[in-house]
Amino acid sequence: MAPATARFNPNHLSNPFAHLNQAHAMNQNAHHANQTLPQNMSSHFAGAGNLHGGISPFAPSSGNMGLPGGYSAGGGGGPAGGGGTGLASDAAVRGFEHGAALQRAQAHQTEAAQQGNKTGASGGRIREVWRHNLESEMKTLRALVDRYPYISMDTEFPGIVARPMGSFPTKADYHYQTLRCNVDLLKLIQLGITVFTADGDTPPAQPDVSLHQQRPSAYLPPVPCTWSFNFQFSLDTDMYAESSVEILKKAGVDFDKHREQGIDVDAFGSLLITSGLTLDDDVHWLSFHSGYDFGYLVKIMSATPLPASEEQFRTLVKIYFPHLWDIKFLLRHAQKLAQRGTITTQAATILASLGQKSGLQDLANELECTRVGAMHTAGSDSWLTGSVFWALRAKVFDNDIPTDLADQIYGLHGVGPPASAATREQLVLANGGGGGSSAGGLGGGGSSVGGYATSMTPTTHTSREGGPSTPTTGHAVLVGQTVGQHGGGGGGGVFGNFSYK
């Protein structure tokens, strides 16, 4: 084989292996001390008369990679062996890994740009997860959860397409039945999660090289702190509210890619259950107005429709997510403290400036939290949710949130009985309910689906700066019929034909 000459000029700017040249030459000089460069070397390398000239020896030519006898002297061993010489040496193998890692990093950047989550904005910190990289990214999260046990999350879903029919003892029950019928009918589109330490720190952008001692020279791309899981969803066959889908399209959601490369929810559910992110008392989930978020996750992990009662639902949430914090619930509690005058001056100023606004972005602006990525994408929203939680904890609650505020979901907990019938009718009219629509405020010719009403042109209640949300002010219209059990039924309209199973 060729003598131990450096493959690149050590000082040449194009040399990616400068740190390896000296060690490699020292290992090889003793073996080749009395050898000279063979005459036929020029037939294998272009420009062989000047091997120090910075010309790559890996250009295709005759033979294997342009070297007599393949990758190593005597033809034995390959690059994976790591114990040979030349291209089979440990140094060369690490060099190949370096190039492959660069290609992977470039692929991630290209994919992120196509999704509208450009790395120029997120710095490679938001990782897009599709069917092909689901298992590898879940493996990464399993390795991180012990050090980063606070998980903020957000979901993107196809809106609100149905309302429950009947009478309800409380607003909370009405909200839950609305949530239940929509979650059971629809499919999740995106889930974003961001991981934090107990002090509110995300994983460092640059990896800890000491954790990679076996490959100290390998290229280590930026470490994500946020993962955006993209699920299989088809605009041709799946139900959705048109206004919600339009919002997601404008945010850059690629529905063609969701249809072709989206994650299967059953595969995701099985991995999530065994990930260490759930079913663990040491893990805390952070959310904002999160009834639907947890509704979809419970449905995915249980692989069954949501239970009939809110109490049963809360039991399942407590099992899968033993500790959770809903920022909207915390905000409402803080506003009550402000009314009583039992809050710090800084907190009172923030809440007074916030006024009647209550969206995630509104609160982020007041708390001076910076968004990374595009609004109405699950990854960006989950990161902002976590940032807002830690800022709210520090600036409004003085780093001490009472534990009795944990495990509450805004809109489903602590809501009193509904108002009188007269007041209820006024609220319905004020919220566009129209004269006693059987769709609980969705006017226009609806159709019944197993005890639920769907509108021909569904609308959405909007919160989160325009995204779908549980309604928080309107009341159900009494139609003398209780919520039906899961059963058959069909409906037409913009959804096509479907049955509720």
Q: All domains of the chain, ordered by start, with CATH?
A: 121-212+219-325 (3.30.420.10)
126-149 CB burial, b ≥16 within 10 A, e <16 = bbbbbbeebeebbeebeebbeebb
CA distance linking residue 165 with residue 168, whole number of Å: 9
Q: Answer whether 159's CB lies under 8 Å from 243's CB.
A: yes
Average pLDDT in the chain? 73
Q: How confident is the model at residue 12 (pLDDT cuts 50, 70, 90)?
A: very low
What is the C-alpha separation between 273 and 396, in angstroms, rounded?
A: 34
Residue 11 phi, psi dihedral angles, 5° rounding: -100, 5
pLDDT at 75: 41
The pair of three-digit structure tokens given for residue 169, joined into one six-digit string: 């003892």
Number of Cβ within a 10 Å radius of residue 22: 11
pLDDT at 277 over 80: yes
User: Cβ(293)–Cβ(287) under 8 Å?
Assistant: yes
- Residue 126's DSSP bridge partners are 226
245-254: pLDDT as tens digits: 999 999 999 9
Contact call for residues 415 and 175 (beta carbons, < 8 A): yes
| 3-state SS record for 404-415 | HHCCCCCCCCCC
Residue 403 makes CB contacts below 8 A (sequence gap 6+) with none
The pLDDT of residue 218 is 52
The DSSP bridge pattern shows strands 150-156 and 190-196 to be antiparallel
pLDDT tens readout for residues 54-112: 444 344 444 443 333 333 334 444 444 445 677 777 777 777 777 776 676 566 555 55
Structure-token match 């108002």, residue found? 419
Residue 499 has pLDDT above 70, yes or no: no
For residue 334, pLDDT beyond 80: yes
Query: Which of 35-39, 181-185, 375-379 is predicted least confidently?
Result: 35-39
> 467-468 and 284-287 as β-strands: parallel, antiparallel, unpaired?
unpaired
Burial 221-252 (b: 16+ CB within 10 A, else e): ebbbbbbbbbbbbeeeebbbbbbbbebbeebe
Q: Is the pLDDT of residue 294 over 60?
A: yes
Q: How far apart are CA 196 and CA 457, in angstroms?
A: 41
Amino acid at 32: H
- Which 3 state secondary structure label does DSSP give 137? helix
Cα–chain-centroid distance for residue 106? 20
Q: What is the mean pLDDT of residues 475-491?
A: 32
Q: 0.85 cut: is pTM over it? A: no
Q: Given this model, what pLDDT does residue 133 score?
A: 96
Q: According to the model, what pLDDT value does residue 205 have?
A: 86
Report the pLDDT value the prediction gives residue 411, as an integer from 0 to 100.
Answer: 85
Tens-digit pLDDT profile for residues 363-381:
999 999 999 999 999 999 9
Per DSSP (E only), the strands in 117-243 are: 126-129, 150-156, 162-164, 190-196, 226-230
